[in-house]
Amino acid sequence: MYESSASPALDAAHLHCRSLQQALGRFRRDGLGRIAEWGGRLAVVLPAGGRLLAAGNGGSAAQAQHLTAELVGRYRQERPGYSAIALHAETSSVTAIGNDYGFEHVFARQVSAHGRPGDVLMLLSTSGRSANLITAAVTGRAAGLRVWAMTGPGPNPLAEAADEALCIDADGTATVQEAHLVAVHLLCECFDAALAPAPSTVAAHRRAS
């Protein structure tokens, strides 16, 4: 156990790390199954021609865009690129929609334009209370998309509006964001693992050849 030092900065750093460690422990206990399920689902949807749409505000926007980049590019293993769009990255659309329809609709309008039944919509929010994300979730579900949310502590409005949610049990915004980044990487890890052929299949193929 860490004992307080004479350095307020060092104490703050230790407290931050302890909060993150505790949040990740709860996530490992309660959330890994959901992430594995999501990775498996994406491994069905994306190779079949489906699409992932993702959005967030502020730091959550950066993490949503990181997720789409890993899917269009790659995470670890070499594989085809898959269709994934970060809705907040389309600055002309975001500003035009915000100007004409209001900021609440900047993502929902794009969901209506790009989403198709069976696609996946991923929404990230530390608070779970962003009106533009909640509106996007409602629009996505009505259009037949599967809506997933990564949020801070639940219950919250975004988690309730989504089909499924991963709620990080942590008090600090930074801690939630850091746990979301881990979740994004694990989602990519699970996606790649679900795409890879089972070892028995690989062995059988080698024997046949």
For 31-80, the pLDDT digits (tens) are: 999 999 999 999 999 999 999 999 999 999 999 999 999 999 999 999 99
For 4-37, the pLDDT digits (tens) are: 667 999 999 999 999 999 999 999 999 999 999 9
User: Is pLDDT above 80 for 156?
Assistant: yes
CA distances from 114 to 89, 109, 133, 138 (A): 14, 9, 16, 15
Which residue type sits at 129?
R
**Three-class SS of residue 61?**
helix
Question: Rounded to an integer, what distance in angstroms lies between the CA atom of residue 81 and that of residue 180?
Answer: 23
Question: Rounded to an integer, what distance in angstroms lies between the CA atom of residue 111 and that of residue 141?
Answer: 10
pTM summary value: 0.90
User: Is pLDDT above 60 for 1?
Assistant: no
96 pLDDT band, cuts 50/70/90, is very high
Task: Give the contacts of 17 (CB within 8 A, at least 6 positions apart).
Answer: none
When pLDDT is averaged across residues 100-124 and rounded to a whole number, the result is 98
| 65-76 per-residue burial string, b: 16 or more CB within 10 A, e: under 16 | bbbbebbeeebe
Output the DSSP codes for 147-202. EEEEESSSS-HHHHHSSEEEE---SSHHHHHHHHHHHHHHHHHHHHHHHSPPHHHH
Question: Rounded to an integer, what distance in angstroms lies between the CA atom of residue 77 and that of residue 63?
Answer: 20
Asked whether 120 and 136 are in contact (CB, 8 A), the reply is: no
Q: Which CATH number fits domain 41-195: 3.20.20.140, 3.40.50.10490, 3.40.50.300, 3.40.50.620?
A: 3.40.50.10490
For 116-151, the pLDDT digits (tens) are: 999 999 999 999 999 999 999 999 999 999 999 999
Question: Rounded to an integer, what distance in angstroms lies between the CA atom of residue 37 and that of residue 84?
Answer: 18
User: Is pLDDT above 90 for 202?
Assistant: no
Residue 96's H or E segment, with its range, is helix 91-101
For 178-200, the pLDDT digits (tens) are: 999 999 999 999 999 999 875 54
